[in-house]
């Protein structure tokens, strides 16, 4: 068993970042445009736009970099943007053996802290083991001016603890946790404390306040490392995530950020779990997670198919397995 690490995190303005090496950049036009003036001192020798979280695309980008006749030994990979860029860059860095530095433009997910790349494949999500970035650069002034609905959207990957813990406990009660995923009470308590920290900073982080964003980052980092220690993600991912993954199949070409789908999943699943949801809903609102961006018919279809979906893709036992939809 390997216990993965978090990246080294530097809280510095992007324009103070020192980098001697030539840079292979993974970004998207929109995210790059938001910060390029702060990064004009980088020597960018290769650039890729990350489009879809699909392994074949990541493999093509990797091959393109390898065939570009750059002196590999000197190159540094940089991911600038959100989870789509980061997941692609982690894959490329893993397969080329190059060091990865991530520069998030919003705290929109926890992917810049994890060692996996989440690939979409045949209607579901596979968390491929790649590697964590070696270095994470956090510029709170950049995060503060990120689009409101993305700025602190990573809170959804923490508020999900409320529904995920409930599922983990349900599975324990019903003897449905497989070997290696048994309920560990102190881990559940630690996750609850992280959730409390996230709920506490929701207002400040959502408003772009520096201390609030730092606390949200702390909660994201602790949540990821907690899962790294136990080698699974049950404290952070349960039925709300399964629902979010199922929902992606009913959105057609409409692109909705992962966090927003998870937000919808949290409120729905918490209700099925008979949980008090007011404080969860409040935190999501304070972080500007839209409550109406997902088309209702897609929600209905995803819900109806959920019990079958979670079995088909062998997700760990949760309330989603027990839903009886008409």
Tokens of 35: 């910060």
Which range in 29-37, 93-101, 144-152, 156-164 contacts Zn ion by CB under 5 A? 156-164
Instruction: Give me the least distance between CB of 126 and Zn ion, in Å please.
Output: 14
Which range in 73-81, 136-144, 150-158, 169-177 contacts Zn ion by CB under 5 A? 150-158
Q: How far apart are the first and last CA of the chain?
A: 43
Torsion angle, alpha carbons of 69, 71, 75, 78, to 10: -10
Which range in 71-79, 83-91, 152-160, 310-318 contacts Zn ion by CB under 5 A? 152-160
What is the pairing mode between strands 76-81 and 44-49?
A: unpaired
Residue 149 vs 157, nearer CB to Zn ion: 157
Distance from C-alpha of 231 to C-alpha of 3, rounded to nearest angstrom: 7
Instruction: Give me the least distance between CB of 236 and Zn ion, in Å please.
Output: 7
| Alpha carbon distances (Å) from 260 to 77, 199, 311, 323 | 28, 16, 24, 22
Instruction: Give me the least distance between CB of 223 and Zn ion, in Å please.
Output: 10
Q: Which residue is nearest to Zn ion (CB)?
A: 157
Distance from C-alpha of 324 to C-alpha of 326, rounded to nearest angstrom: 7
Instruction: List binders of Zn ion among 172-231 (CB under 5 A).
Output: none
Instruction: Give me the least distance between CB of 144 and Zn ion, in Å please.
Output: 23
Does 87 bind Zn ion (CB under 5 A)? Our answer is no
Angle of helix 185-207 relative to helix 210-230, nearest 10 degrees?
Answer: 160
Which range in 157-165, 186-194, 278-286, 315-323 contacts Zn ion by CB under 5 A? 157-165
Residue 233 vs 273, nearer CB to Zn ion: 233
Cβ atoms 191, 222 nearer than 8 A = no
Q: Which residue has the tokens 């001192």?
A: 41
Cβ atoms 85, 31 nearer than 8 A = yes
Instruction: Give me the least distance between CB of 157 and Zn ion, in Å please.
Output: 4
Which range in 89-97, 154-162, 290-298, 301-309 contacts Zn ion by CB under 5 A? 154-162
Distance from C-alpha of 168 to C-alpha of 154, rounded to nearest angstrom: 21
Residue 85 vs 157, nearer CB to Zn ion: 157
Residue 128 vs 210, nearer CB to Zn ion: 128
Site map 286..305 versus Zn ion, x via CB under 5 A: --------------------
Cβ atoms 67, 90 nearer than 8 A = no
Binds Zn ion by CB under 5 A, chosen from 85, 139, 149, 157: 157
Does 85 bind Zn ion (CB under 5 A)? Our answer is no
| Alpha carbon distances (Å) from 58 to 77, 125, 127 | 14, 15, 14
Which residue stretches of 208-277 are H helix?
A: 210-230, 239-248, 258-272
Cβ atoms 25, 78 nearer than 8 A = yes
Which range in 79-87, 94-102, 151-159, 200-208 contacts Zn ion by CB under 5 A? 151-159
Q: Is 232 helix (H, G, I), strand (E, B) or coil?
A: coil
Q: Which chain residues interact with Zn ion by CB under 5 A?
A: 157
């Amino acid at each position: 068993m390997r216990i993965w690490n978090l990246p080294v995190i530097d809280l510095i303005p992007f324009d103070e970042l020192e980098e001697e090496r030539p840079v292979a950049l993974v970004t998207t036009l929109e995210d790059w445009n938001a910060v390029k003036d702060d990064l004009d001192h980088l020597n960018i020798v290769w650039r890729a736009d990350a489009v879809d979280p699909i392994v074949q695309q990541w493999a093509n980008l990797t091959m393109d970099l390898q065939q570009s006749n750059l002196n590999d030994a000197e190159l540094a990979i940089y991911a600038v943007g959100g989870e789509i860029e980061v997941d692609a860059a982690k894959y490329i860095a893993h397969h080329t053996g190059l060091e990865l530095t991530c520069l998030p433009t919003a705290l929109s997910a926890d992917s810049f802290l994890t060692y996996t790349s989440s690939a979409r494949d045949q209607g579901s999500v596979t968390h491929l083991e790649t590697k964590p970035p070696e270095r994470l650069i956090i510029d709170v002034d950049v995060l503060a001016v990120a689009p409101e609905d993305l700025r602190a959207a990573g809170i959804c990957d923490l508020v999900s603890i409320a529904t995920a813990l409930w599922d983990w406990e349900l599975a324990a009660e019903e003897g449905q946790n497989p070997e290696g995923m048994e309920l560990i009470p102190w881990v559940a308590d630690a996750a609850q404390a992280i959730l409390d920290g996230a709920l506490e900073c929701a207002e400040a982080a959502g408003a772009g306040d520096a201390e609030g964003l730092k606390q949200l980052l702390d909660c994201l980092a602790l949540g990821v490392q907690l899962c790294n220690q136990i080698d699974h993600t049950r404290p952070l991912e349960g039925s709300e995530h399964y629902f979010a993954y199922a929902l992606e199949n009913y959105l057609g070409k409409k692109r909705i950020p992962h966090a927003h789908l998870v937000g919808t999943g949290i409120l729905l699943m918490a209700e099925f779990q008979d949980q008090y949801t007011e404080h969860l809903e409040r935190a999501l609102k304070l972080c500007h997670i839209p409550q109406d961006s997902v088309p209702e018919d897609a929600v209905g279809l995803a819900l109806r198919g959920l019990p079958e979906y979670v079995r088909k893709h062998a997700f760990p036992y949760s309330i989603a397995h027990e839903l009886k939809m008409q």
